[in-house]
Structure 1
Amino acid sequence: MACKVRLLPILPVIWTILFSVHAEAVESKKNLTVAVLLPWTGTWPIGQRMGPAAAVAIDDINNNAALLPDHHLDFVWKDTGCSAREGMDVTMELYEELGENLRVIIGPGCDAVCGPIGVLAASWNVPIVSWGCASSHLSNKDEYPTFVRTVGPFTKTGGLFVSLLKHFGWTRAAILASTQQVWQTTSHAIKLALEDAGIAVAFFQSFDPGYVQMTERERAMHHDALETAKQKARILIFCADGGDVREMLLMAADLGIVNGDYVFVVINFAPDAMLGENTWMGRDGRDDDARKVFNGLLNVHVHTPLLEDWEVLEREVRYRMAGPPFNRGMQRYEKVDVYAAMLYDAVMLYAMALDDALREGESEADGARVAQLMKGRTFDGVAGEVSIDEYGDRSPNYVIQNLQGSRFEDIAEFATANKSLEMRDVDIVWAGGKTSPPIDSPECGWDNDLCMDDSCEFILL
């Protein structure tokens, strides 16, 4: 009787063996859950353009045999809504869900959220690594001992403003600042830097942000502040959130100064704020006006990386955004935000510090020690060199962007470490559509003392 030989399909067998080996390897490792806080909704929904960067970093760590070799990382994420209350709520949810296994918080990104969460994290002895919060108050290690960040505080932009004004020969400016803490500390740092460099701050005015309350009285105060500013300087620096910038620029248009004679400079402006529904202003019917007045705006933003690693991360973020747990397909015209690099580097910074702590014989539960090991560290991040100082702050590089239509064009780069400004060879569009930089004073001077009065009569005896 002939024997039948049965050939087993070899590929499924191999995959089964490999999967079993991988599963056993993972099971032999200690699980560590990374808690990620993102603003997915609210006034700055940037999570929708960079959130999966955390997942990319975690996969890279798990695939690196030299980094945390005895641990397997996964993550959970929550939406803070860029709101202190919502941020507190979801952080308490994380604490209830993870309990003593809450070992690290990556994020949040909004200053209003970082403050209270930073205090909570310190009380829990949990390191918190923010990828977006820029308030200088967070550098206070007595209050935020476990707080570290992969961005720098906006107070470090002072040197940038000095270099920018000197490049164009401007010697006079005005500053309008929201009373929010982050913008107060930022605006005063810029004012001090300009004055130390011999640049006059001819007018400085604070105002309450619109989301607090906006009555006719408040609106009149904002209008009066801008009216006075335009009579004192032509370089106007706004330190405020997007909704307040939108309101001020619409007022500037109503005052007739979006005409090419004035320069408007903002910090970390989100293009979404051109639409009223994305701000406290709501649907006010002035979106078309806003698009026009924003054309020519100068925006100070964290440096946009041009490295190959960044291009890889961009593709990965876009690809993973469509799948779980984010489940949001990005449109072709949508860009992955540069903060994806800061988020990726935040996860990597924590992993490297934890790895060092474990090699010292410390526990992942000692958040204060892990946070301490992040300080004074320099490494090659996905967006370039990451250098963390003794306060847990990154020494940042910035770009100056020019809003041309609906797109930001990088026109200059600024390195904080050596305070160098490098202009790019690109055309700049100025407010009002002009192509040449404005001068910083009227032709006849601010007191009309540079022009002869033609009405005067001279009698020679």
Structure 2
Amino acid sequence: MEGLTLALVPLLLIAGTTGDTVRFGVILEDQNPSEPYSYGHVGPAVELAVQRINREGWLGPHRLMAQYQKITKMSQYTALTVAMGMYENDSGNLDFFLGPTSEYLAQTVIRLAAFWKVPVMTCSIVWRLGVKGDPRDDGNYETVVRTVPTSGDLGKLVLRLYQEYDWTRGFQLYHKGNDDDSCYFLQSGIWSEWHIVNEERELEPLTHESIAEFSQDEFNLTDPAGRREMDKRFADELERVKAVSRVIITCASAPYVWRLMKVAREMGMTNGDYVFLIVDVFDHAYLQPDTWIGSEDNQQERRDILDAFRAAFVITVPRPDTPAFREFSEQVREIGKQNFGFDSGETLANPFVESYFNDVLLYATALNGTPGYNYTNGTEMALKMRNVSFIGKEYGIS
């Protein structure tokens, strides 16, 4: 139980308690505060949404109250215990859940929420999680609502590029860490969609010969020796690529992609004969100076590597660079510094922050359109939130 105790932190209550109260549990990972979906990043956006909804009276006679829980021990048992402790407490049962994001944790909470018949909103990207008709569903995903593209959606997008350029082969090169499986699940979505259509599209099957994993945790890029080891590993994998495919699908943190493109250029693979599809969901930083580890003092090398990116497609979720979105991002950052003791440093909020903010507004929008503001039927509330589009009037977020 010691590990579990360390994984839990006291609850933080947001908003008032007068009148009728709609209570929801926010379960957020905090093992690595730098992750874009961590407690410090997302919590302030949730608080901002709660403040707005209560201030503007979106819920009629009701008020919204968020109950937060951080998870620092990334295990399904921890997620199960946290969710059960939040749902069944002296204040009464929760009306819906927000988060978590990590795939295995999210699946645990989603299954519990389906059993309790309460909605759960998550930005988990795992392939087909909660897709209607999924043979693995069996009622487990009845109340889940997701507001981000899935890894399966990514797979469909990649295959559209393949169709556009008449490509037939691929090589997957990606990071897979001990506690970070995001790239693995993204690549799994591509792999799964690939095998669905490979016969009708005459694609070459993806096999173990066309897949390579590496762990960023094993290579310290701040150490020259670590950079040399990483460069050698990339060189070995790219040598394998030459015998398999001219299209390389990769996913890793920005500094590692920077090293990959450096090595690819040195091997003569960025002159048009090869294409790199860079899956970027988290960093949005491939061309920013703080990712140029090892090239900071070499202006010519930086120019050469930047030029190598001409051989790449970057697949990402764009951030709106508008005055309204910058204002939203600044407000989230200020709440983080004042109420959460965390400065994200983001001038434009990342997609997870934006999505979880939208999740709270989406729930309020659905409840606002429910006769009598009746939120007790969780299954019905989940259905009301699916396949809905809206644009936030205040921030221009959609």
The alpha carbon displacement at 1:300 in A equals: 1.9
The alpha carbon displacement at 1:100 in A equals: 3.1
How many equivalent pairs are there? 339
Distance 1:230 1:313, change over 3 A: same
Which amino acid is 1:78 matched to? Q
Partner of 2:116: 124
Which of 8, 22, 25 is matched with 1:32 structurally? 22
Partner of 2:191: 187
Which of 106, 111, 114 is matched with 1:114 structurally? 106
Q: How does 1:119-158 map to 2 (within 5 A)?
A: 119-139=111-131, 140=134, 141=137, 142-158=139-155
What is the CA–CA distance in structure 1 between the aligned matches of 2:217 and 2:84, rounded to whole Å?
A: 25
Answer yes or no: is the 8 Å Cα contact 2:31–2:74 preserved in 1.
no
Does the alignment pair 1:379 with 2:390?
yes
Answer yes or no: is the 8 Å Cα contact 2:126–2:185 preserved in 1.
no
The alpha carbon displacement at 1:193 in A equals: 5.5
Partner of 1:263: 275
SS of 2:114's partner is helix
1:180-224: CA deviation from partner (whole Å, max 9, x where unpaired): 55532332214655775566668664456749999xxxx999997
For structure 1, the 5+ residue unaligned runs are: 1-25, 275-285, 387-461
Q: TM-score, normalised by structure 1?
A: 0.59
Partner of 2:341: 327
SS of 1:37's partner is strand
Distance 1:154 1:96, change over 3 A: same
The alpha carbon displacement at 1:59 in A equals: 1.2
Answer yes or no: is the 8 Å Cα contact 1:131–1:346 preserved in 2.
no
1:96-149: CA deviation from partner (whole Å, max 9, x where unpaired): 556633111112222232111111211222210113434323324532111101
Q: TM-score, normalised by structure 2?
A: 0.68
The structure whose residues are more often strand, as a share, is 1
Distance 1:181 1:339, change over 3 A: closer
Which of 320, 326, 346 is matched with 1:305 structurally? 320
Partner of 2:62: 71
The alpha carbon displacement at 1:320 in A equals: 1.0
Q: Could you say which structure has the larger radius of gyration?
A: 1
Distance 1:183 1:44, change over 3 A: farther
1:426-446: CA deviation from partner (whole Å, max 9, x where unpaired): xxxxxxxxxxxxxxxxxxxxx
Partner of 1:403: none
Does the alignment pair 1:353 with 2:366?
yes
What is the CA–CA distance in structure 2 between the aligned matches of 1:315 and 1:116, rounded to whole Å?
A: 33
Partner of 1:415: none
Which amino acid is 2:102 matched to? C
Does the alignment pair 1:171 with 2:167?
yes
The alpha carbon displacement at 1:228 in A equals: 3.2
What is the CA–CA distance in structure 1 between the aligned matches of 2:154 and 2:100, rounded to whole Å?
A: 21
Q: How does 1:168-317 map to 2 (within 5 A)?
A: 169=165, 171-176=167-172, 180=184, 183-190=187-194, 192=196, 205-206=210-211, 210=215, 227-238=239-250, 242=253, 249=260, 256=267, 259-260=270-271, 261-271=273-283, 288=294, 296=309, 298-317=313-332
Partner of 2:227: none
What is the CA–CA distance in structure 1 between the aligned matches of 2:284 and 2:329, rounded to whole Å?
A: 20
What is the CA–CA distance in structure 1 between the aligned matches of 2:206 and 2:18, rounded to whole Å?
A: 66
What is the CA–CA distance in structure 2 between the aligned matches of 1:83 and 1:348, rounded to whole Å?
A: 28
SS of 2:170's partner is strand
The structure whose residues are more often helix, as a share, is 2
The alpha carbon displacement at 1:355 in A equals: 3.2
Partner of 2:49: 57
For structure 2, the 5+ residue unaligned runs are: 1-15, 177-183, 220-229, 287-291
What is the CA–CA distance in structure 2 between the aligned matches of 1:124 and 1:306, rounded to whole Å?
A: 40
Q: How does 1:81-100 map to 2 (within 5 A)?
A: 81=72, 83-85=74-76, 86-95=78-87, 97=89, 100=92
Percent of aligned pairs with the same residue? 19
What is the CA–CA distance in structure 2 between the aligned matches of 1:355 and 1:159, rounded to whole Å?
A: 34
1:241-273: CA deviation from partner (whole Å, max 9, x where unpaired): 659976994996699466545333232353499
The alpha carbon displacement at 1:90 in A equals: 3.5
Which of 377, 394, 397 is matched with 1:366 structurally? 377
